[in-house]
Amino acid sequence: MDNMKILFVSPECVPYVKTGGLADVTGALPKALAGLGNQVRVILPLYKSVNLEKYGIKPHDLFPADIFVPIAGQDHKVGLYTTGPRADDVEYWFVENEHFFDRDGIYLDPSTGNDYYDNDERYIFFGRAVLEVSKALRFAPDVIHLNDWQSTMTAGYLHTLYRDDSFFKNSRTVFTIHNIGYQGHFSSETFPKLGVGDEFFAPGSPFEYWDHVNFLKIGITTSNLITAVSETYAEEIQSGNEAGLGMEGILTFRSDDLYGVLNGVDYDIWAPDNDDLIPFDYNINNISNKYKNKQALLHLAGLPERGERTPLIGMITRMVDQKGFDLINKVTDQLFALDIQFVLLGTGNENYHSLFEAMQEIYPRKVKAFLKFDNKVAHMIEAGSDMFLMPSRYEPCGLNQMYSLRYGTVPIVRKTGGLADTIFDYNENPHEGNGFVFEAYDAEQMLDAIKRAIITYKDKNLWTQIQKRGMTADFSWEASARKYLEIYKRAMDKEMATNVHTPDFL
């Protein structure tokens, strides 16, 4: 089917609101799909932080004023704002409701640092509002592409309350798991708020998970097809190890409907030859200009310039165990005894904030931690670093390793998820290797990979070959978008709802 009508549902999207890589995907994949000749709409909540004036977002003229979503005996009004059609042929819709979305913070309450107490109601509302918006604007999607747990009630409602609604008779759902660690897990008190029949809370039904409500399970069991954001991650989350985080049985049950599609890179944003956020543009033909960005980054970080003999390692990430900070913690003294400099950008667990604050005190000429999120600094780290460290326990896809390749910044990664699909060890394969890889989740193996990178870095001819190999790799979104279109076509061959009932032990 050509010229498909696609409704892309997500809790966040670049440039409007971002907490993680999902926003980058939502900002790029719909553009690529539209570029292939499809009608694409993106819908997300209108959070308080969305800058209406900056992005020309206005109330939708054609949206009626009498649309409501009932939750727990109370009707909540659905408003709608829009960008209108943009130059990239994608129109963005923003679901407006002051009670649920006009507050500081996206998922977390800044006053407590914890999840908002009513996140279940917020995304129950959003999931049903998506369908009401689609009907009100007469946009009958061929495919509704759902992203992460906050969007899954759209599939849940198509499976139940809207099952016989003729408007959606030809609509199919595809659900993408961006990180299985975030599941939307709530107590049984959430179930009555959904407004579906009691039969859906029986063991093995889509809405029951060990006497709780798990939004991720709802998406897995009621969507027509499921994707994960890399081929390796799709395999890992079905395995019996910790990667599945309790969902491995359900995913294995639906393994015939699960596909892995690697995320892409938006090279309109991440390209060193056309990056307004770095001081000096460069490309494969004048890669020596990269060193000027290294000098600028060292100056910004307050670190001394040591010429090209000392490699600068960059890291941009959430500071949590998943990202390998427990490994770094185990070998900090050995790591910073090496002839390196290290620049980190990120926020997260206070114990890791304290760790790097201490390291800055102990090694003031080697370590700088920017304990915040800053997009300009992120681009400068990609451009100015010699190496990029990603020692993740698990990494569904990862984007920074692909950004790093384009910027000639050689990745050092653990072999997991999307890192395993994109980075290949130079020592194992000198002719095709584009980085340095370690397999076990082990601090000594990580340290060994860093040491191997440092040794190779001293041979400038070899290092330049590795850099150029990475810079010519193509991880653009068009290839991924074409794979999604194939999956959409397979979804169109499915029945309206999956009618999946998982085994009783799930």
Residue located via tokens 């914890």: 114
Contacts of 322 (CB under 8 A, 6+ apart): 181, 392, 393, 394
Are 134 and 154 in contact by the 8 Å Cβ rule? The answer is no
Contacts of 264 (CB under 8 A, 6+ apart): 28, 29, 32, 475, 476, 477, 478, 479, 480, 481
Q: List pLDDT tens digits, range 349-374.
A: 999 999 999 999 999 999 999 999 89
503 pLDDT more than 80: no
Are 40 and 11 in contact by the 8 Å Cβ rule? The answer is no
Q: List pLDDT tens digits, range 143-190.
A: 999 999 999 999 999 999 999 999 999 999 999 999 999 999 999 999
Q: What is the mean pLDDT of residues 207-231?
A: 96
Output the pLDDT for position 21. Answer: 85
Q: List pLDDT tens digits, range 417-463.
A: 999 999 999 999 999 999 999 999 999 999 999 999 999 999 999 99
Q: List pLDDT tens digits, range 224-280.
A: 999 999 999 999 999 866 788 889 999 999 999 999 999 999 898 999 999 999 999
SS3 assignment, position 226? strand
Task: Tell me how far CA of residue 420 lies from CA of 29, 174, 322, 429, 466, in angstroms.
Answer: 22, 24, 16, 14, 17
d(CA 29, CA 27): 6
Output the pLDDT for position 2. Answer: 67
Which uninterrupted H or E stretch holds 231? helix 231-236
Instruction: Give the mean pLDDT of the chain.
Output: 94
Are 132 and 75 in contact by the 8 Å Cβ rule? The answer is no
219 pLDDT more than 80: yes
10 pLDDT more than 50: yes
494 pLDDT more than 90: no
Q: What is the mean pLDDT of residues 304-331?
A: 94
Q: Give 406's DSSP letter.
A: H
Confidence of residue 197 (pLDDT cuts 50, 70, 90): confident
Output the pLDDT for position 476. Answer: 93
Confidence of residue 500 (pLDDT cuts 50, 70, 90): very low
Output the pLDDT for position 504. Answer: 44
